[in-house]
Amino acid sequence: MLALASVAAAPVQQTAEQSGGNPLIAIGAFLLMLGLLVVIHELGHFLTAVWLGIKVDEFGIGFPPRALTLFERNGVKYTLNWLPLGGFVRFAQNGDGASDPLYGAGGTLAAAPPWRRIIVMVAGPLMNLLLAMLIFAVLFGTLGVPTPTGQAISQVFPDTPAEQAGFRPGDELRALDGRSVEDPAVIGQVARANSGRPVTATVLRDGEEVALVVVPGPWTSPEGKSFESGFGFSYGPRLEQVQVGPLAAAWRGVTYSLELTGRMVQALAGLPASILGLFSPEPSPDGGPIGPVGIARATGEVIQQPGGFAAFWNLAAVLSLNLFLLNLLPIPALDGSHIIFALVEWLRGGKKVPPEKEALVHAIGFAALMGLMVLITVNDVLNAIRGLPVLGGS
């Protein structure tokens, strides 16, 4: 698994607080989260291998050195190891070399038909997807489903149509020209369609609805940016937690996980630029890649703020989706690369890629990943020294 992620929006609002906090709590929460995500991932590999009749020697919690063997069943050792960083599956080998915790070296997994190997390797990331769906479903079931009711106005700029109409910071815009503004795109559409013509706006102010008349038109921001037609206020969604039943919460957990994964796929297009930005002397932008240090800091930020318990599980679900997606990428040494090699073998009618060539690709890929991880870790440490929160906010 790749301990690299980018934090995305999720049901529980996450705003970092610039407080010292207890680093031991942050470290403990991070190890708990990482351990859960990795163990669930490896459990997918393990259960699928057993189901397909592929021999497994060991299922380990934590990484070696081994602390103790919990028990042994059906030839599988269940072990507890000293490094609390997740877990691993050690597949059986044929005795001709050291085994790799994922793929084996001459072991029964490597000897299995390609379609079986693909299923085993897909199962690990898939478990991360299912875990995220479960966490989101529980959060939606207990906290409610965040439902937009309107747009919260945070700023009203001077000498703009919004100021002239009487808008105030703190107003909640509910409707424009008779149209609901739950979708923020409606605001721009109404402005462009009614430039120079008065429209009615409905805002919620101090618990009461107020009708305002505003004439969208040209305005200039304090930074000097000009707009041909608009209102002159900044806004963001106002969400209300709506309680739903268990089935609706479960379904929302599924659909939200898929929506968030889709946004992560779109964000991958900007990943190369984000990685190149690590070489810049400027602080990393929000949403950039973070490594173990960044993930640990993010965990500490959410666990030690009000509502930290829910925010912790929210972050765990987001990171689980990251791991689902990243581990399916065709990056050497990750699940996606092993899937590609199995597909190549399948398309070649069972003719394997020479083991030494495959091993070389994985070795080079692993070295590149470790180099990238070092770079990201250095960037995480620099951001920590600068006092920049991982999740944004102030």
List pLDDT tens digits, range 184-227. 999 999 999 999 999 999 999 998 999 999 999 999 888 888 88
* Residue 202 in domain: yes
Give the H/E segment covering residue 118. helix 114-143
Let me know if 209 is a catalytic residue.
Answer: no
**Which residues have C-beta within 8 Å of that of residue 93, sequence separation ≥ 6?**
57, 99, 104, 105, 106, 107, 108
pLDDT of the residue at 98: 43
Distance CA 281, CA 285 (A): 12
Judge whether 224 lies within some domain.
Answer: yes
- Last residue of one domain, picked from the residues 242, 267, 299: 242
Task: Tell me if 311 is assigned to some domain.
Answer: yes
Range of the domain at 152: 146-242
Is 298 within a domain? yes
Supply the DSSP string of 260-324, one letter for each residue: HHHHHHHHGGGHHHHHHGGGSSSPPPTT--B-HHHHHHHHHHHHTSTTHHHHHHHHHHHHHHHHH
Looking at residue 272, its pLDDT comes to: 63
Report pLDDT digits (tens) over 135-152.
999 999 999 998 888 999
User: One-letter amino acid identity for 116?
Assistant: R
Quote the pLDDT of residue 1.
44
Average of per-residue pLDDT values in the chain: 82
Q: Are 173 and 203 in contact (CB under 8 A)?
A: yes
Tell me the sheet residues that pair with 145: 242
Is residue 285 included in any domain, yes or no? yes
> Are both 131 and 276 inside the same structural domain?
yes
Is residue 347 in a domain?
yes
Does the structure show a pLDDT above 90 at 87? no
- For residues 129 and 269, the model is more confident at 129
Q: Are residues 254 and 289 in the same domain?
A: yes
Domain boundary among 223, 242, 261: 242
| Enclosing H/E stretch for 349 | none
Q: Which two tokens stand for residue 57?
A: 């020697």
| Total length of the chain | 394
Question: Considering only CA atoms, which of 126, 129, 123 is closest in space to residue 46?
Answer: 123
**Boundary (domain end) residue, out of 242, 262, 285:** 242
Burial class from Cβ neighbours inside 10 Å (0-12, 13-18, 19+) for residue 7 reads buried
Per-residue pLDDT tens digits for 343-376? 988 988 878 888 788 778 878 877 877 777 777 7
Give the model's confidence band at 320: pLDDT under 50 very low, under 70 low, under 90 confident, else very high: very high
From CA 254, how far away is CA 259, in angstroms rounded? 9
**65 domain-assigned:** no
Whether residue 194 is found in the same domain as residue 129: no
Same domain, 235 and 358: no
Taking the model in full, what pTM does it have? Answer: 0.76
Choose, from 17, 42, 72, 259, the residue flagged as catalytic.
42
Q: How far apart are CA 388 and CA 290, in angstroms?
A: 13
Residues 178 and 219 in one domain: yes
Distance (Å, rounded) from C-alpha 83 to C-alpha 18? 30
The total domain count for the chain is: 2
Q: What is the CATH number of the domain that holds 208?
A: 2.30.42.10
Tell me, yes or no, whether 40 and 128 share the same domain. yes
pLDDT tens-place string over residues 5-22? 444 444 554 444 444 456
Within 10 Å of residue 206's Cβ, how many Cβ atoms?
A: 8
Rounded to an integer, the average pLDDT of 60-69 is 90
Kindly report, residue by residue over 152-178, the tens digit of the pLDDT: 999 999 999 999 999 999 999 999 999
382 plus 300 within the same structural domain: yes
102 assigned to some structural domain = no
